[in-house]
Structure 1
Amino acid sequence: MNNQPDQNQEQEVDLVPVFVWISNGFKNLFNGIGNIFKGIAHFLVLFLIFIKNNIILLGVLFVIGAALGMYLSRESKKNFTAQLRVQPNFESAGQLISNIEYYNSLVDQEDYQTLGQQLKVSTEEASYFVGFEIEPDFNDTELLKEYDYMARRADTIALENYTFEGFKKAKRDIDYQFYKVSVTSKNRAALEKAAPDVVEVKDNPLIKAQRTASIETTGYNIAKREYQLKEIDSLISAYQIAIKDKDSDLSNGTNVFVNGQNGMVDFKNLFQEKSNILFLLETEREKKYQFENTVNIVSYLIKKGSIEKKHLTVTFALVFFGLGLIIALIPILWRFLNTYQKKD
């Protein structure tokens, strides 16, 4: 019994280093966090001192950038922009992109005579054009439809490691279904006259071959659907006559034997099948009219100024401010390199 207090005292003594270690750990942790904040504060102070020492240079470049951005913004408001959403057929997207790049090169070279010939306008009207842009126009819903169309016709094993995200990453610029074309001009009349011709793609042997094949396939599908529709109508007529005929061999009043076979066709299923054929026929007819043009214009909008807000004033002000920071840092970096070289 006399040894028990001594044992408790020894255990309490042994716990003292543990608590000391824990307290030192917390102390070092808080000191480390404090040093981080001190370092951040020190960096901010040094940065403010750097700004103060170069305030004239940075201020001048900031004002120049803002003035340049404001000037470009005002100039852009004087222009007219046509935005077209187009759908290329027969794998003509690559040729359309090349045409847009070619028109831009003609503007850069100020070859307005050739540009006018290409866009079917006069040389004077062609001189009003400022630039041409093209980019894919899509959303995940449209891409998902394309992926589903491809997946239904591909091997299931091949699709195991080919996800929708992989499908999107594998897309090239010429693989999209829709594109957004922007045309900028200083004259609205010239823009309205030439905008449809900007997205026009002339037929080459490949486009002609694909157009012919598509039209023939669509025509065959339309004839097939129309024949199926006539057959369904004939069956429905025969079914209605059989229902009115009292001598018909009806088992339950809602079914009729077809071609003497044991299988029976439900009246409701006939109408559902007819509805499906009408939908497929409508789809094929839409394709037929889509194939009349190499590039279909889905939407067309003309607006004065830029359609998309680019915030040129703020953008150029920040860019020139960053340029000023780089210029101001060059002497500091130069002195640091010289000092470091001397130490070595």
Structure 2
Amino acid sequence: MSDQPNNQEEKEVDLVPVFTWIGNGFKNLFKAIGDVFKGIGNFLVLTLLFMKKHLVLLAVLFLIGAGLGYYLDLQNKKSFNAILRVQPNFNSAAQLISNINLYQSLIEQEDFASLANKLEINEEQAQTLGSFEIEASYTDNELLAEYDALARKSDTMALMNFTFEGFKAAKRDIDYEFYKVVIAGTDREVVNKVSEPAVTVQDNSGIKALRQSAKENNAFDLKVLEYQLQETDSLIASYQKAIAGNSTSGASSGTNLYLGDQKPSDALKDLFGQKSTLLYKISEAREDKYKFAKTVNVLSQYVTKGSVEKKHYKIKLAFIFLGCGMLLALIPLLWSYLNRLESQRK
């Protein structure tokens, strides 16, 4: 019994180093945090002293950058962008991309005579054009619809290792359904005028063959769908007569339809569902009929001022020139540091 107080005192004594270690840990942590803030403060003070020493150089370069940026912003406000979303048909995407790249190449080469000839404008108008750009325009929903159409045409086993992400990664620049074309220039009327000619693709033998095939297939599909719709309407009328006759007389009327185990009301409901599907397919086929009238369909087109892009040249160039000035001011310090190292080695 007399040993128990001693054991308790030993345990209490053993906890003292633990609390001391924890206290030292917190002290070191706060000291490290303080050193970090102290180092940041020293760095800021040294930076301010360095900038004060070279204030004239930095101020001059900052103002030069801001002035150049202001000039570029003014030039940007004078520009206009025609933005078009187009849909090339009959595998004409490659030709469309090639045409847009050709127009951009003619601008870079300053061959405005050839550019004017291709876009059916005069050379003076062609000189107001600044750039032609094209890129794929799509959403995941649009790509998912394409993937679904591919899945319906393909074998199930072939699609097991071909995921939607793999489908997106495998697409080439010429494989997309929609494209965004941006035409920039300083004259709004000229930009608007050349928008449609710029995305026009001349028919070649391949495009003509695909167009004719698409028209014939579309006409055949419409004819079949309209025939199916007539037959469905006829069946619906017959079911309605059969249901009306059974409900009034309870006996067999002049129209007899064998439905198996299915109820007449359920069969009629299925027919209305089939009719709705047929009407949707007919609507899509008619849209395709008019879609195939042009090689490239313009889905949307609008012209915006260049300033809408908000490139903020004044701010960007001012700080870029300020950074260049600081680098120039650091060169003498770096040079003297290297000289001291060289003298110490000797």
Give me the TM-score of the superposition, normalised by structure 1.
0.84
For these two proteins, the number of residue pairs brought into alignment is 340
Q: Deviation per CA, 1:209-267: give whole Å up to 9, x if none.
A: 43333333322221221111121122234345555668x998899x9515xx7466622
Is the Cα contact below 8 Å between 1:80 and 1:186 reproduced in 2? yes
Give, as a single letter, the amino acid of the residue that structure 2 aligns with 1:130: G
Give, as a single letter, the amino acid of the residue that structure 2 aligns with 1:93: A
CA–CA distance in structure 2, aligned partners of residues 118 and 224 of structure 1: 43
Q: 1:219 aligns to what?
A: 219
Q: 1:193 aligns to what?
A: 193
Q: 1:288 aligns to what?
A: 289
For residues 273 and 29 of structure 1, do their structure 2 counterparts lie closer, same or farther at Cα, with a shift above 3 Å needed? same
Structure 1 unmatched runs, 5+: none
Give, as a single letter, the amino acid of the residue that structure 2 aligns with 1:135: E
For residues 304 and 23 of structure 1, do their structure 2 counterparts lie closer, same or farther at Cα, with a shift above 3 Å needed? closer
Q: 2:230 aligns to what?
A: 230
CA–CA distance in structure 1, aligned partners of residues 22 and 63 of structure 2: 56
Is the Cα contact below 8 Å between 1:77 and 1:305 reproduced in 2? yes
Q: 1:15 aligns to what?
A: 15
Q: Deviation per CA, 1:102-159: give whole Å up to 9, x if none.
A: 1112112221110011111122222221222223333343334334444454555665
Q: 2:318 aligns to what?
A: 317
For residues 20 and 223 of structure 1, do their structure 2 counterparts lie closer, same or farther at Cα, with a shift above 3 Å needed? same
Give the match's secondary structure for 2:217. helix
Q: Which moved more, 1:10-19 or 1:324-333?
A: 324-333
Give the match's secondary structure for 1:90. coil
Q: Deviation per CA, 1:311-343: give whole Å up to 9, x if none.
A: 232233233333334434444445555555666
Q: Deviation per CA, 1:52-86: give whole Å up to 9, x if none.
A: 33333332222222222221222232233322121
Give, as a single letter, the amino acid of the residue that structure 1 aligns with 2:129: F
Is the Cα contact below 8 Å between 1:134 and 1:180 reproduced in 2? yes
Q: Which moved more, 1:180-189 or 1:233-242?
A: 233-242
Q: 2:275 aligns to what?
A: 274
Give the match's secondary structure for 1:176. coil
CA–CA distance in structure 2, aligned partners of residues 47 and 219 of structure 1: 76
Q: 1:327 aligns to what?
A: 328
For residues 80 and 19 of structure 1, do their structure 2 counterparts lie closer, same or farther at Cα, with a shift above 3 Å needed? closer
For residues 147 and 30 of structure 1, do their structure 2 counterparts lie closer, same or farther at Cα, with a shift above 3 Å needed? farther
For residues 171 and 32 of structure 1, do their structure 2 counterparts lie closer, same or farther at Cα, with a shift above 3 Å needed? farther
Give the match's secondary structure for 1:279. helix
Q: How does 1:42-81 map to 2 (within 5 A)?
A: 42-81=42-81
Give the match's secondary structure for 1:257. coil
Q: Give the aligned CA root-mean-square deviation in angstroms.
A: 3.2
Give, as a single letter, the amino acid of the residue that structure 1 aligns with 2:185: S
Structure 2 unmatched runs, 5+: none
Identity within the alignment, %: 49
CA–CA distance in structure 2, aligned partners of residues 25 and 45 of structure 1: 30
Is the Cα contact below 8 Å between 1:131 and 1:185 reproduced in 2? yes
Is the Cα contact below 8 Å between 1:183 and 1:195 reproduced in 2? yes
Give the match's secondary structure for 1:82. strand
Q: 2:203 aligns to what?
A: 203
CA–CA distance in structure 2, aligned partners of residues 169 and 328 of structure 1: 48
Give the match's secondary structure for 1:213. helix
